Chains A and B, each alone.
Chain A
Amino acid sequence: MDQEIKDLINKEITESEVCLFMKGTPDAPQCGFSMAVGNILKILEVKFKGINVLDDQSLREGIKAFSEWPTIPQLYIKKEFIGGCDIIKEMYENGELKKILAEKKIQHKN
Chain B
Amino acid sequence: MTMDLKDIEKHIKEALPDANVEIQDLAGDGNHYSATVTSSQFKDKSKIEQHKMVYNSLKGKMGNELHALAIKTKEQ
Contact = CB atoms under 8 A, between A and B. Distances in A.
* Main secondary structure on B side of the interface with A: mixed
B72 A90 contact: yes
B63 A70 contact: yes
A102 interface: no
Interface string B43-58: 0000110011001000
B63 A71 contact: yes
B18 to A, nearest CB: 21
Contacts of A68: 52
A-side interface size class: 10 to 19
B62 A71 contact: yes
Interface stretch (A3-11, A13-21, A42-50, A80-88): A80-88
8 contacts: A69-B52, A70-B55, A70-B62, A70-B63, A71-B55, A71-B62, A83-B51, A85-B70
Interface of A: 33, 64, 68-71, 81, 83-87, 90-91
Given A71-B62, A83-B47, A83-B48, 9 more contacts: A33-B68, A70-B55, A70-B60, A71-B63, A81-B48, A87-B47, A87-B51, A90-B47, A90-B72
